[in-house]
């Protein structure tokens, strides 16, 4: 399937922020497709085949309610990026590696500080250079945090808790990490030797492409009460970390996406795209993928924990302050490439669903039992990174997000392919352009900055306005970048 081809399929307007692909569009669709977008975004959505992927996902056995896409939708492997689909396990619901993606548990964590912009601005270059020099970044980068093969198996089961035990963080960090940093049911035996090989030296490394560490300042607060619970106020400096499961997660996806093609005929599953290869969640094949995927997810949580630990050390050194004075507490860490087994009330009864969120963020409402006590009143913190020249957001989950299985967008969403962005950046210095805006940037290569230039992405402000106005998450605060390191 080409990502370049214009999509001219049938799209019905439901309301100002939702569009339907009726299941009559393609024979074999079990449910409608629903895309969250504004009128202005529809033209961009039609510019690739992502909407066709929304229709294709509707073929999955056991799919419940809708095949969904968030406003940061763009073309991906099997599922579009921005895709959400829930399957009912008790009625033969399937799990698809393409519904999780290659960077399993790519996700974001947001860290508060007691610093203000005026504290940081005089030392901003020192801070960015310090982060760049102390946090390994880029393709194949290797970290200072070394682990043996035996320890790696423990890390895949224990996740962030394993690295905290080793001294890379604080116990309370786990309280504000999704799944407390380790999803249960990880099976190290389901991970291939090749995946182990690719992951063994990459703990505590940032990765390449759109992965980043960003020093930000809060420039707008929309919900002062919720912001106060999160420990945030206008003018405060925050740190955002965006990374995933590195080579290990990629290999897990590659192994199972290829291997599951054979299971389609075994279980009599008919999908229009082999990239939607899948297996019933309760089958041996489904259980093995889930076990391996959870290992990669735990690896990613451990990785982001290590990255935060390294960053805290740099802040302490640059500002000559201890941890208590710096106040670098974790607000939250949330995944946006994962499949989770969750209970949802659907069709008048509670059902056990496998919720695929690929480029989509969990957004649990106030009072949800899985939230830490501190966030019971506010709802789950939802962290939405933008591009490195505009803004990022902190949102909160809502009860209305029930209609999306408590899911929302995950970022801005690409407008240009990486090759198109590199071409558009020829003859330009993206670094100099950003420095004119007061944003200090360091990266492992010139091409990385071109790939990640602001215009390669949708405007995150528009994306967030859609999910806010649709009611599936609500705005709490907006951050703008001060300094960025890119892989």
The residues carrying an active-site annotation are: 410
Say if CB 240 and CB 110 are below 8 A apart: yes
Q: Is 337 exposed, middle or buried (0-12, 13-18, 19+ CB in 10 A)?
A: buried
Phi/psi class of residue 188: alpha, beta or left (left: φ > 0; alpha: ψ in -120 to 50)? alpha
Angle at which helix 284-319 crosses helix 246-259, to 10 degrees, equals: 170
Determine the Cα–Cα distance for residues 267 and 236; give it in Å rounded to an integer. Answer: 54
**Cα torsion angle, 302, 306, 308, 312, sign:** positive
Distance CA 383, CA 361 (A): 8
DSSP assignment letter at 80: P
3-class secondary structure, 81: strand
Question: Which of 102, 40, 99 has the alpha carbon at shortest distance from 71?
Answer: 40
Please state the length of the chain: 487
Neighbours of 188 (CB within 10 A): 17
Phi/psi for 77 (5° steps) reads -90, 110
Let me know the angle formed at the C-alpha of 408 by 67 and 207, rounded to the nearest 5 degrees: 105
Q: How far is Cα 130 from Cα 405, in angstroms, rounded to an integer?
A: 40
Neighbours of 446 (CB within 10 A): 13
Q: Is 405 left (phi over 0), alpha (psi -120 to 50) or beta?
A: left
SS3 content of the chain, % helix, strand, coil (to 5): 40, 25, 35
**Alpha helices of 17-111 — where are they, by DSSP H?**
42-45, 50-57
> Terminus-to-terminus CA distance in the chain, angstroms?
28
Phi-psi region of 430 (alpha: psi -120 to 50; beta: other; left: phi over 0): alpha
């Amino acid at each position: 399937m080409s990502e370049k081809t214009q999509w001219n399929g049938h799209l019905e307007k439901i309301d100002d922020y939702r569009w339907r692909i009726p299941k009559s569009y393609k024979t074999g669709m079990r449910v409608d497709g629903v895309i969250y977008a504004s009128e202005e975004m529809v033209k961009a959505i039609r510019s690739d085949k992502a909407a066709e992927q929304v229709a294709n996902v509707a073929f999955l056995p056991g799919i419940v309610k809708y095949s969904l896409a968030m406003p940061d939708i763009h073309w991906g492997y099997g599922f579009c990026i921005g895709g959400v689909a829930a399957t009912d396990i008790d009625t033969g619901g399937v799990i698809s590696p393409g519904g999780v993606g290659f960077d399993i548990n790519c996700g974001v964590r947001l860290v508060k500080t007691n610093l203000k912009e005026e504290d940081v601005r005089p030392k901003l270059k020192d801070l960015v250079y310090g982060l760049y020099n102390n946090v390994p970044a880029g393709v194949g980068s290797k970290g200072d945090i070394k682990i043996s093969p035996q320890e790696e198996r423990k890390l895949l089961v224990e996740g962030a808790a394993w690295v905290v035990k080793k001294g890379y963080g604080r116990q309370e960090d786990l309280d504000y990490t999704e799944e407390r940093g380790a999803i249960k049911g990880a099976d190290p035996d389901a991970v291939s030797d090749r995946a182990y090989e690719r992951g063994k030296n990459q703990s505590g490394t940032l990765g390449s492409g759109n992965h980043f560490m960003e020093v930000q300042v809060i420039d707008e607060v929309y919900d002062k009460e919720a912001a106060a619970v999160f420990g945030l106020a206008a003018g405060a400096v925050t740190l955002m970390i965006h990374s995933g499961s590195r080579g290990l997660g990629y290999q897990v996806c590659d192994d199972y996406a290829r291997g599951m093609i054979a299971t389609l005929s075994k279980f009599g599953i008919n999908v229009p795209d082999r990239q939607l290869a899948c297996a019933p969640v309760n089958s041996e094949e489904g259980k093995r993928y889930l076990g391996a995927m959870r290992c990669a997810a735990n690896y990613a949580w451990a990785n982001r924990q290590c990255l935060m630990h390294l960053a805290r050390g740099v802040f302490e050194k640059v500002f000559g302050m201890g941890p208590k004075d710096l106040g670098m507490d974790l607000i939250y860490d949330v995944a946006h490439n994962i499949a989770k087994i969750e209970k949802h009330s659907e069709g008048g009864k509670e059902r056990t669903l496998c919720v695929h969120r690929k480029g989509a963020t969990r957004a649990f409402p106030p009072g949800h039992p899985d939230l830490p006590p501190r966030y019971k009143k506010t709802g789950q913190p939802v962290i939405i990174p933008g591009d490195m020249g505009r803004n990022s957001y902190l949102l909160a989950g809502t009860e209305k997000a029930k209609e999306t299985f408590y899911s929302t967008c995950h970022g801005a969403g690409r407008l240009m392919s990486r090759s198109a962005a590199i071409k558009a950046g020829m003859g330009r210095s993206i670094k100099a352009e950003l420095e004119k805006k007061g944003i200090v940037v360091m990266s492992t290569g010139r091409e990385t900055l071109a790939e990640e230039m602001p215009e390669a992405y949708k405007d995150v402000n528009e994306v967030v306005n859609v999910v806010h106005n649709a009611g599936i998450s609500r705005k709490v605060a907006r951050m703008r970048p001060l300094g960025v390191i890119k892989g």
